[in-house]
Structures are given as C-alpha cells and as structure tokens.
Amino acid sequence: MRAVLTGERGLMHIDARTLPNGTVLEGDLCIVGAGAAGITIAREWIGAKQTVLLLEGGGLTYEAAMQDLYRGEIVGLPYFPLEAARLHYFGGTTGHWAGFCSTFDAIDFEVRDWVPDSGWPLTRADLDPFYRRAQPVLQLGPYDYAAESWHRRDPAMIALPLDARAVWTKMWQFSPPARFGTLYRDEIFAAPNVRLYTHANVCEIEANDSLAAVQGLRVRQLDGKELQVRARHYVLACCSIQNARLLLASNARAPAGLGNGHDLVGRYFMEHLEIPSGRVALAPAAARRGMAMYEWTQGVTKARAELALAPAVQRARRILNATVSLEPGAPDSVAQSTFQAITPDVLAAERDSAAQGRSAPAVTAAPPAAERFFNAMTRQEQAPNPRSRISLGAERDALGMPRVRLDWQLTDLDRRSFAQFYDALGREFGRSGVGRVQVLDWVRSANPGWPKTLSGGWHHMGTTRMHGDPRRGVVDPDCRVHGLANLSIAGASVFPTAGAVNPTLTLVALSLRLSDELKRRLV
C-alpha cells in the first residue's frame, strides 16, 4: 500500500531515502531544486496557507555519488567538467559561488538588430523592484549601482575622467558570498508550511494525456526506490543544464521532451566570455588620482567599478555588451606576449595606411611611459546561438537518467566584439589623456579562432529561453512553460540574452517576480 504524505505540518526536513517505495508526496506548490532560485522562492512562501514541497536531489552537504549525477560529455569548445561546474546538494552552487553581483543594463533587455534572437519581453524598469528585493537575499548593500553614489559614500572612490557617452563606470557589489545552504537552512527547517525533501532527485515530469499540464513527478533513488509527487503547480529550479536535461528526459508522452514542441529546449546555452585581453597603462596624472574605485580586496571591498561601453557606442559598432575589470599588475604581468597598442597615433597610422590602399600594419608597441599598469580582464556576453546547446547523451547515470552532452559554440559576433570593444576603449583613453590601452595579439588578430585562455565564467544561461511566442521561447514572459498550465521555470535558463554581468542577482530577482506571479495564481 502506498503511503501518502500530504501537507501536514511539523515534519519540515525529511531525508527521502527514509520513505517507503511508492510514497506519494502531496502539496500545493512543488519546487524542484534548492539552490539560489529554489530557496529564494520557498522563502517567499513561508507562512502562507499553501503547502510547499521543496525537492532537493542531493543531501545537506557534498556527496560524491550525488555530484557524479552531473557528469556529462563536452563535444564543442573546451569547457569546465560539468560535475565541477555546479553543486548538487542543498544550497546548490551558492556553495562555491564568488558573490560578484551587478545589474543588467537597459540595453541588455532590448531587441538589437545586430544580435540575432536578442530582446526580452521585459524591460530593466520592469525588473527594478525585484532587483531591489533581491539585494538583501544575497546579503548585498543598498540598491544603488551609481558610481557617483559610491563616491559620496567614500570620497576615495573616484571614477576615471572618461566621457560617459563613450565609456562609463559600471559598479558591482559583492555578496559575502551568501551560501544559501547554511544561511537559510534554519529558516527553511522551521517553516511550518515548507517541507524540504533531500535525496529527492526528480527523474521525470509526467504530463497528462493532452500534454497541457503536469500531473506528477517521479523521484528516483540510488537503490531503485521511487516516489511520486503531486502538486497544483511545479517550478523547475535545477539550474540551466539540469532544467533542460529534465525536460528533454521527460519524453514518455512527448518524444522530443516536454515543452520542446519547437526544438528549443537545451538550445541557446550561453556563458560569459572571461578572457585576459590586454592591459591599461595609466598616465601619471590619472594614476595620482587613485584607483580605489577599481581595485578590490576579497572580503573587504563591498563595491568595485569596471569599465563598459556606452549603449550608443555598442549600437554604432554593432557589438555585444562587455565590461572590463582592471587588475593591478606589473608591466609584464599579463602573458609573455606582444601587444598591439590602441592609441590615437596608431589608429591614425592605420587609417592612413588603409587610405593609401595598404593593409593596416600590425603594431607591436613597447609599453608607453606610465605610472601604473592594470591587466584588463574582459567579461563579454555571449550572443544567443541555437547551435550552442545541451542535448542528451547515450550514457546513463546511476539513476538511469541520460547524461547531458554540452556543445558550447560561439559566433563571429562574439569574436569581433572584443576587438571593437578595445578599439573604442583605447580611443577614449587616448582622447581623455587617461592613458593607453594595449591588447593582446589575439584580440585584433585576423585569425577568427579563440586563444587558449578562452574561458567561461562558470555561468550557465539560456536553454529554456523566455519569449512571448512559443515558436521562439520555451517559457512565456511569466516564466511558465508554453503549453503547460502548471509548470514554471526559475533560474538563468530563462534568460534570452546573457548581459555582461554575472547572473545570480538577476536570476534571484526573476525568482521573486515568479513567486509573486504564482501567489496570484495559487491563492
């Protein structure tokens, strides 16, 4: 006989391995995954009259057998081992995130005709109230990312005197970092209406006959035991790769996977391209002003600035959004490599050469006389690309789930944007007299390949993108899966574009927005 666990109060954390085979868990809202997104939503429901089931695949701490469920195949560009790129236990990947946070810019939400598949069905203004609420969730400071405000707080923080119509100073804040598994554990355990089940790996989402709604979930354990889950509404919050994997593997009734009627699930996997790109040589006058605003000491600095191109420049050059962090360094502390200088003189020489029909010379410059050098680390958004994708591989994990295959792919736009970014930055440094910008050879090389230092930022985005049109997105603007009345998705998998900054602040803001929407639906 099946044990049915309804939403009775008083049993708040249950290790699902202790439940008999065939147990049915029942509640109003079921959240799959207890990481940044899932715990954010669960906390919003504490004290509500509805029962929330929070299903976490892992335990309360790291376990090798659970982590191994994340292993997968890399078939595209080189990438981090997947079992190291996300954590599979209560608290999720906040267990080792670094805490860098900033907001997406207004342009990140816009349709940009030079960025295929760009445009969110939301604006930055729509997200603002949720960004404000997300700040304390991540233990951040005031909802204020204006450089002038941080200067007022700390007069030592002085922005470089650059023309903001060309290059602007973009602020970041740093979470301690908030580790959700320890920070929110007691609150979740004590919540009268939230029942946390650990070792509850969801292996299948079961749709009804007409594929119009979810009728249940199947949880499987390493010893082969299975549990059933029934709720009025379900939220997937397993992070981008696992959200896509679960939908694709739920193919009993829909052969291509759930929510995948238009072959979009798993596609548009995006990362941030974090690559050492050159260095900045500050002229003595600029260096004397101090660089406190741009320098950062872990655990001490609460905010730091980076440099970004104004939206008008991005539009004019038809490039992606990016920011550059300036990391104090010695003249030769980047790679042992030659540099190309981007200075007004060099650009003028190149223009003259081009005007005379000669190809632009590759200029190798000695470091200019300068007071201080900073290594330039770029963080650039990746253009949405349907060929960059997650699919199911042939191998299965210990629960019998197909493992994932990651085919990370980049485009010409991704590559071209780097050179354009530094060209624009170099011109403004030269014009303003702030200093000189030099780029590593690969940045302006005619060779379209990527340097060995190509790296993502450990940020997984896309795979269940948001769009009002079901032919162009997996979820609608409310983060509900198109065509499935009671299934929503939380996390960066719904991002249509990646923005230039790390994703967690934005995904927590979107989770709060989703929670509000669910409250309207379920109360």
Ligand X SMILES: Cc1cc2nc3c(=O)[nH]c(=O)nc-3n(C[C@H](O)[C@H](O)[C@H](O)COP(=O)(O)OP(=O)(O)OC[C@H]3O[C@@H](n4cnc5c(N)ncnc54)[C@H](O)[C@@H]3O)c2cc1C
Site residues for ligand X per CB under 6 A:
32-38, 55-58, 85-86, 88-89, 92-94, 96-101, 201-202, 237-239, 242, 246, 458-459, 491-492, 502-504, 507
Q: Do residues 422 and 428 make contact, with C-beta atoms less than 8 angstroms apart?
A: no
Output the smallest distance, CB 231 to ligand X, in A.
14
Please report, as a single letter, which amino acid is at residue 268. Answer: Y
Output the smallest distance, CB 398 to ligand X, in A.
13
Nearer to ligand X, 319 or 505 (CB): 505
The DSSP letter of residue 360 is P
Strands (DSSP E) found in 336-427: 339-342, 372-381, 389-396, 402-407
Helix axes 504-522, 124-137, angle to 10 degrees: 100
Residue reference for tokens 């007022």: 152
Residue whose beta carbon is closest to ligand X: 35
Output the smallest distance, CB 82 to ligand X, in A.
11
Residue reference for tokens 């209406």: 193
Nearer to ligand X, 52 or 286 (CB): 52
Q: Do residues 342 and 423 make contact, with C-beta atoms less than 8 angstroms apart?
A: yes
Q: Do residues 253 and 345 make contact, with C-beta atoms less than 8 angstroms apart?
A: no
Nearer to ligand X, 443 or 492 (CB): 492
Output the smallest distance, CB 201 to ligand X, in A.
4
| Helical (H) or strand (E) element with 39 | helix 36-44
Nearer to ligand X, 201 or 221 (CB): 201
Output the smallest distance, CB 227 to ligand X, in A.
11
Output the smallest distance, CB 518 to ligand X, in A.
16
Residue reference for tokens 């993502």: 456
Collect all residues with Cβ–Cβ distance below 8 Å to 389 and sequence separation of at least 6. 266, 267, 268, 269, 406, 407, 409, 463
Output the smallest distance, CB 283 to ligand X, in A.
31
Q: How far apart are CA 72 and CA 134, in angstroms?
A: 32
Output the smallest distance, CB 89 to ligand X, in A.
6
Nearer to ligand X, 167 or 505 (CB): 505
Nearer to ligand X, 426 or 491 (CB): 491
Closest CA to 184 of 231, 239, 116, 137: 137
Closest CA to 28 of 235, 232, 205, 237: 232
Q: How far apart are CA 219 and CA 61, in angstroms?
A: 19
C-alpha distance across the termini of the chain, in Å: 32
Nearer to ligand X, 102 or 388 (CB): 102
Please report, as a single letter, which amino acid is at residue 132. Answer: R
Nearer to ligand X, 265 or 492 (CB): 492
Output the smallest distance, CB 399 to ligand X, in A.
9
136's torsion region: left (phi>0), alpha (psi -120 to 50) or beta? alpha
- CA 230-231-234 angle, 5° bins: 115
Nearer to ligand X, 199 or 444 (CB): 199
DSSP 170-205: EEEEE-S---HHHHSHHHHHH-TTEEEEES-EEEEE
- CA 157-275-173 angle, 5° bins: 30
Output the smallest distance, CB 81 to ligand X, in A.
11
Nearer to ligand X, 162 or 239 (CB): 239
